[in-house]
Structure 1
Amino acid sequence: MDIIERDESGRVNSTRIVNHQISRSSNNGSEKRARTRSSATEILSKVFLPVGYPRSVSPDYLRYQILNSLQAFCSSLAGLLSSRATLEGYGVGKASASATNALILSIMQDMFARLTTIISAYYLGSSLFPEAKTYRFLADILNDAAIILDTTSPMLATVFPFHLLATSRIPFQLYTLCISASLRSLCGIAAGGSKTAITMHFATPLEGSGDVGDLNAKDSSKETVLGLLGMLLGTITVPYLTTTWSTYTVLFLLVFLHLLINYYGVRGIVLRTLNRHRASLAWAAFRHDFGEKKKNEERSHESNPSRVLTPSSIASYERLFDRPDLLWDIHASRTIGRCTMGSSIGLVFDVAQADIFPATRLFDLFRNKSFVVWFDPKDLTSTASSSEPSLRDKHSPHVHVFLKENHTPSDQLKAWLISCEVALLLASQQLKTDENDEDASVSLDALVLISRAKDTVDRLFSTFTEQMLRAGWCADTNMQNKSPENDEGNDKGSQPCLAVALMTRPPQTVVVDVSSTEEEAKKDR
């Protein structure tokens, strides 16, 4: 009898049982000669890599961990210089220093840090998961800013004496140390929330499932070892950095390397869930390819399905620092509009703008949807010759999404794609006008534009979702599309939804109920 087994590292071994005797063999070849070396490698991998690596993590895990280890090492060395300057701020080495003053200073730092934590968690908490890559890199910038401020505080104290700041005799280093404590608290909030999102991404391999707990534990082990190595190297090098020039040269070199490595590390993360930026890029690529395929089909009479971009392709177009509410044209590499999710109708429009908000017709258009899409009043105008609201120009529209009660992430995605489609229609109109194309047939009637974009998204949403899932984007296993009888344009039967995280804050309001009098309905017609 031959029994084939595979261990957690993927190595295959065979066991043969003949006449009550057991013999083992491996198909890896030269195992006896490399037994010692492989044993050491296995021990290191079991200690620092997740169980089942590489099958239990996403493909971009190893690259990120290597770069993350390098940046953590640089940050550890720079942190030693910062700690030395902080101790100098406490008064270490000064005859006039006292333990009480140092205690009061540490209490002030801790107070500012805790207040910053509470305030930043309130304002940033809901944005950390959707914009994980942005806040992961921002956390490193904040940490480096705190390190630089701590290290340069002795020099700044000589440049800015306390009596130049205020009438009170508060040492300048108290200001700098409290500001650096606040920056570190901001770093902790940004890094903690974004790291959770990135860890969940790494724990979702292309096939199977990973273990978030084990992943976090192994990351902590790596960070501990790197911190120890950084401190050991720091104890050797820091005592020799006695002059201002040498200290600041090494500091800025470490900070530069830290940010550079972090930049490439974060850019290399290939997230497979959609936020607003990735959804905008994916829809623009899909619509451009769909348009090209449609033209080819008209000429060749052959049906060719349009394609979507893979997560790795979208990652190459992503921008770390950009407003998440911007709509992008991936082929023109420019912004084509703006969309605000979760707006309030009562806050966006007032009584004087009733003529550019056709409420009855607009809500009737979206009667089977859990959202309403409409333009910002600054983009609209209504003339005496035409009672229909129209756009003032063709450039960069600002669209609002008003969510209804019981909306789902899939509804948010559809509303966002309708906004993208409106911006793409206007961008194509402007391009045709610039090229003197006679086929510039996009109407500037606001309601017509919204209706046309809605019909396009309803018609193509199922195809877009199916192809995105085939391209490697994650599905939301806990969510199903709304029943087809309540949603236009869907095929019969429930369909899997894309995993999305579009909202960076709760909506200002949600529409609970809509009612209108007969007089208002006649006036709106």
Structure 2
Amino acid sequence: MTYGDTWGASSREPAEIMSFIRSYVVPEGFPDSVTPSYVPYMNWRALKHFFGGAMGVFTTRTLLSSVGVSQSKVIPGAIAINWILKDGAGRVGKMLFARQGKKFDNDLKQLRFSSDLLLEIGAGIELTTAAFPQFFLPMACVANVVKNVAAVTSTSTRTPIYKAYARGENIGDVTAKGESVGNIADLLGTGLSIFISKRNPSLVTSFAFLSCGYLLSSYQEVRSVVLNTLNRARFTVAVDSFIKTGHIPSLKEGNSQETIFNPPWRHETVAIGSRFGEAFQEPASFLAIRPLFEDERYMVTYNPTKDKVYALLKDQAKSDDIIKAAFHAHVLLHFINASHARRLKLKQKQANPDQSEHLYSRNVDFLAHIAESCKIVSSSYGTFKKKAREQGWIMSESLLNPGKARLCAAKPQ
């Protein structure tokens, strides 16, 4: 072998090693086989799994200690029964939560982050068993139910996210490499955590640090996902931007501005596909606005007692009617909020405006606002759809998750 042959062989080795590593962590044909946002998503995903793997060591160690593995006086059979009951409760929780399937498509980013938040709550409960080992079984069962619910959500939202990154028919390859990266990061986090745990660090401090890192990584991971469908959060961003500026945000802009975390106590200002009794305080309100929607397959109204805009769908409503109803509801909400803001400025000179005045300012002339919103929607909805399509948003299907209630549209004889 000549010197040139030796040099050539040695120079090929790093390239072969890199090719070998790439075959495990990136899809074939990378970067052309995936969308541009794939790299930041995988970076945050790897970091999240690193923190998750590290935290798993502490929770498992705590559970084993709490159940009595370190105590020779505990009967091994009792330990096994406790562990089996704990896992059984988790599987029951997973099965019961699976019926929420459709919601995984509508709000997958919101549910994905919520699942990671639930996972942290479950891990926190597991760590708490160290302080109350006598309550190991009920606490471990609750923790496992919470964590299995999180697992169902995470698994159910995984494929649609990977699908958003795949270019062509390579969803299987993208999924496999994504899971490989997660597993590698998980193993690295586990190894580091085992090394650190030998020094007996504070459980509270360790959990706080790892939990913050996990949730921050999860939030950034979800925010980096770019979807071209319109769920309620992205639809709100698109409509609000169109109303205020006439501009529809790009896919990247719309996804980056989307609200990721919706706490259960948050007041929703728009309801789509509502029931009649929720939307109208009395039949007179319905009769007053019905003529405005004779040619539409929906109705939009405002209930001042609940401070919410309602979009009611007629029984012939199709996908485009649902989108138009949601668009109309946001236009009406904009008029009501603008009117309310103007009236608040006038009320600022009063020392103590009471709640009745506040309610009145939201209630006054809302029928006029509905009539005005009908004119605006009639002239601008087509433009909204056109601009949304130009930006790459899919308008043929909606993920607005309307309620199942429908109005009978038959005209009285």
- Residues 238 and 424 (structure 1), Cα distance of their counterparts in 2 relative to 1, 3 Å cut: same
Distance 1:138 1:235 in 2: 28
1:509 aligns with 2:392: no
Give the AA of the match of 2:145. S
Q: TM-score, normalised by structure 1?
A: 0.67
1:229 aligns with 2:188: yes
Q: 1:312 aligns with which of 252, 264, 278?
A: 252
Aligned-residue offset at 1:411: 1.8
Aligned-residue offset at 1:192: 2.0
- The alignment of Structure 1 onto Structure 2 pairs a total of residues equal to 391
- Residues 47 and 141 (structure 1), Cα distance of their counterparts in 2 relative to 1, 3 Å cut: same
* CA-based RMSD: 3.0
- Residues 50 and 499 (structure 1), Cα distance of their counterparts in 2 relative to 1, 3 Å cut: farther
Flag the structure with larger Rg: 1
Distance 1:216 1:44 in 2: 17
Q: Give the conservation status (yes or no) of the 8 Å contact 2:292–2:374.
A: no
Task: Please state whether the residue corresponding to 2:72 is helix, strand or coil.
Answer: coil
Aligned-residue offset at 1:81: 1.2
Aligned-residue offset at 1:73: 1.0
Q: TM-score, normalised by structure 2?
A: 0.84
1:129 aligns with 2:105: yes
- Residues 346 and 100 (structure 1), Cα distance of their counterparts in 2 relative to 1, 3 Å cut: same
Higher helix share: 2
Distance 1:189 1:453 in 2: 41
Distance 1:238 1:406 in 2: 62
Aligned-residue offset at 1:194: 2.7
Residue in 1 aligned with 2:286?
Answer: 357
Q: Give the conservation status (yes or no) of the 8 Å contact 1:373–1:401.
A: yes
- Per mean C-alpha deviation after superposition, the further-off stretch among 109-118 and 370-379 is 370-379
Q: Deviations over 1:123-180 (max 9, x none)?
A: x4332222222221221121122222222312234xxxxxxxxxxxxx3111211111
Aligned-residue offset at 1:237: 3.2
Residue in 1 aligned with 2:171?
Answer: 212
- Residues 99 and 428 (structure 1), Cα distance of their counterparts in 2 relative to 1, 3 Å cut: same
Give the AA of the match of 2:192. L
1:189 aligns with 2:152: yes
Aligned-residue offset at 1:48: 1.8
Distance 2:390 2:400 in 1: 21
Residue in 1 aligned with 2:276?
Answer: 345
Distance 1:322 1:74 in 2: 24
- Residues 178 and 258 (structure 1), Cα distance of their counterparts in 2 relative to 1, 3 Å cut: same
- Residues 500 and 51 (structure 1), Cα distance of their counterparts in 2 relative to 1, 3 Å cut: farther
Aligned-residue offset at 1:317: 2.8
Q: Deviations over 1:200-254 (max 9, x none)?
A: 3223x5xxx352222222222222323333343344333332xxx5343323222
Aligned-residue offset at 1:340: 1.1
- Residues 32 and 463 (structure 1), Cα distance of their counterparts in 2 relative to 1, 3 Å cut: farther
Higher strand share: 1
1:157-306 equivalent positions in 2, closer than 5 A: 157=133, 171-203=134-166, 209-241=168-200, 245-290=201-246
Give the AA of the match of 2:128. T
Aligned-residue offset at 1:432: 4.4
Distance 1:211 1:233 in 2: 33
Distance 1:228 1:317 in 2: 33
Which runs of 5 or more structure 1 residues have no equivalent in the other structure? 1-30, 158-170, 291-306, 327-334, 380-396, 437-441, 476-496, 518-525
Residue in 1 aligned with 2:379?
Answer: 459
Q: 2:92 aligns with which of 112, 115, 123?
A: 115
Give the AA of the match of 2:235. A
Distance 2:265 2:375 in 1: 23
- Residues 434 and 308 (structure 1), Cα distance of their counterparts in 2 relative to 1, 3 Å cut: same
- Residues 409 and 212 (structure 1), Cα distance of their counterparts in 2 relative to 1, 3 Å cut: farther
Aligned-residue offset at 1:63: 0.4
Residue in 1 aligned with 2:125?
Answer: 149
Distance 1:38 1:469 in 2: 43
Aligned-residue offset at 1:66: 0.8
Distance 2:59 2:342 in 1: 57
- Per mean C-alpha deviation after superposition, the further-off stretch among 186-195 and 78-87 is 186-195
Which runs of 5 or more structure 2 residues have no equivalent in the other structure? 1-7, 347-361
1:89 aligns with 2:18: no
Task: Please state whether the residue corresponding to 1:378 is helix, strand or coil.
Answer: coil
Distance 1:348 1:435 in 2: 28
Task: Please state whether the residue corresponding to 1:358 is helix, strand or coil.
Answer: helix
Give the AA of the match of 1:465. K
Q: Which has the higher contact order (CA 8 A, sep 6+)?
A: 2
Distance 1:341 1:321 in 2: 20
Q: Give the conservation status (yes or no) of the 8 Å contact 1:270–1:311.
A: yes
1:392-471 equivalent positions in 2, closer than 5 A: 397-433=307-343, 444-471=364-391
Q: Give the percent of matched residue pairs that are identical in Structure 1 and Structure 2.
A: 23
Q: 2:52 aligns with which of 69, 75, 90?
A: 75
Q: Give the conservation status (yes or no) of the 8 Å contact 1:469–1:498.
A: no
Give the AA of the match of 2:178. D
Distance 2:297 2:155 in 1: 33
Give the AA of the match of 1:365. L
Aligned-residue offset at 1:348: 4.8
Give the AA of the match of 1:194. T
Task: Please state whether the residue corresponding to 1:372 is helix, strand or coil.
Answer: strand
Distance 2:89 2:112 in 1: 22
